[in-house]
Each structure stands twice: as C-alpha cells, then as structure tokens.
Amino acid sequence: MKFFFSVLTIALVGTLLPSQASAQIGGGVRQVIVAQASGWNSNTATLQAYQRASANSPWQPILAQPVPILLGRSGLAWGRGVFTPPNNGIPPKVEKDWRAPAGVFQLGSLFGYAARPPAGTRWPYIQVGPWDAYVDDPKNPYYNQHVRVDSQRVPPWFEKQRMRLGDAAYKWMLEIRHNQGPAAPGYGSAIFFHVRRGPTKPSAGCSTMAVENLEKLIRWLDPQASPHYVLLPKADYQALRGPWRLP
C-alpha cells in the first residue's frame, strides 16, 4: 500500500508544469480552510481550518476535530480559482454538472437573511432582500455575480435569478470565489459554503455543513488574514501539499 501511494504521488506531481509546481498559497495568507474528499467522485469530505502567525510560521489546526461536509452530488471537478490545475486528466467544472470545484479559492461576501451576521463576525456581510439575485445563466451579462436590482426597474430575467428568501439552507451563504475575475460563461456559478439540507444530502456543487459548524467558521474568519479555501481529493492533496505549500 505504501509503495502504491508513493507511485501515485509521484505520478500526480510528475504531471505538473514548472509554473504549476510553485506555491499556490501566498505568504500573506494566514488562514486556510482545507477540505479533503476520498476521491473525485465523492460527495462527502472532511474539513479542517488552519492559521499561522506569519508566512514562516507553521500552520496550526483550529478545530478540535475535522467536521464532515457535503459536496456536489457527482463529486468534484477542477475549478477556476487562484491556482493552476495539474494536467491529470480531470475535466474542468461546468454549469449544472453537479460537481464541486476543486482547487484553491479566495472567499467573497457573506450573505444571509438576518439583519446581522453571527455575533463576533468580522467578515463583510450582505443581508439578502427581495431584490437580490445571484445569476447562474451563462448568457446573462451578470453571470456568476450578485446583483441588487432597482425595484422600479426590474429586469425580465430577475424572477429566475433571484435569491431565495426563507430557505433554511441559505441562512448563511459564504461565497467561494470560483470562476470569478472575470467569469467564463458556462464554467460554473453560485458556489458557496452554506447550511446542509440533511446529514446525507449532497449539494449541486456547494460545500455544505451543519449550521453550528458553519457559524463557527464564519466567526473565525479574519479579513486581515486573507483566508483561502482548498478543496481536493486526499491523494491529490498529499501529492500537491509540498509543491503548493499547503497546511
């Protein structure tokens, strides 16, 4: 088994181009959320959070135990984030493929229904109201963006793109910046951390968990620490951990 794992690791790293083997986590990043799935077709993973005092300090785990999360129903595919995907034959994520984007990602806005985020939150917060949309139509110029429309000039596409109100799964939605800056039409949209619908119900591509775990994560985030999210299958994480300087 050890020999097989070593061969697998060498094979994965061997597919990296020189530019792909460089660190994917910059020195200014002092918080990282790491989720590892059993394989590319798995819709479950375990999540741990890490932080460090400086670029030269060791990463320290924050959670007493990793927490279970749910992923896209069909598993994972390479996302578009702040990394270069290895040439390992895994296709990129596309719209409505029911896969969670794998890779390294920055975090965006925190959305929710409440007037205020969980007590102690430092992360930028947007309260979702009746005129908020998050666009998943690749033909829309606002694809993969949050939009608050003018209530006096509601565009014809709004009804199909509006953010839900009162859905317990979307009590809190932390944006995972997949396919942003700029968005490529058709490569996946509206990817969040949000509340799971049940302990065994996978998502359409988001990373979901129990509400208490999500709220703990939200409170921990520090905008000054430039937190990132890393989602990979376990074997790929171990192969890329050194080259990408992951926790």
Q: Parallel, antiparallel, or unpaired: how do β-strands 207-209 and 76-78 relate?
A: unpaired
- The residue count of the chain comes to 247
The string of pLDDT tens digits covering residues 51-107 is 999 999 999 999 999 999 999 999 999 999 999 999 999 999 999 999 999 999 999
User: Among 73, 80, 35, which Cα is nearest to 233's?
Assistant: 35
Q: How far apart are the first and last CA of the chain?
A: 24
What's the per-residue H, E or C state across 107-139?
EEEEEECCCCCCCCCCCCEEECCCCEEECCCCC
Residue 12 has pLDDT above 50, yes or no: no
Domains of the chain: 2-244 (2.40.440.10)
Q: How many CB atoms lie within 10 A of CB 165?
A: 11
- Local structure of residue 51 (DSSP, 8 states): E
Number of H helices, E strands in the chain: 4, 13
The string of pLDDT tens digits covering residues 135-170 is 999 999 999 999 999 999 999 999 999 999 999 999
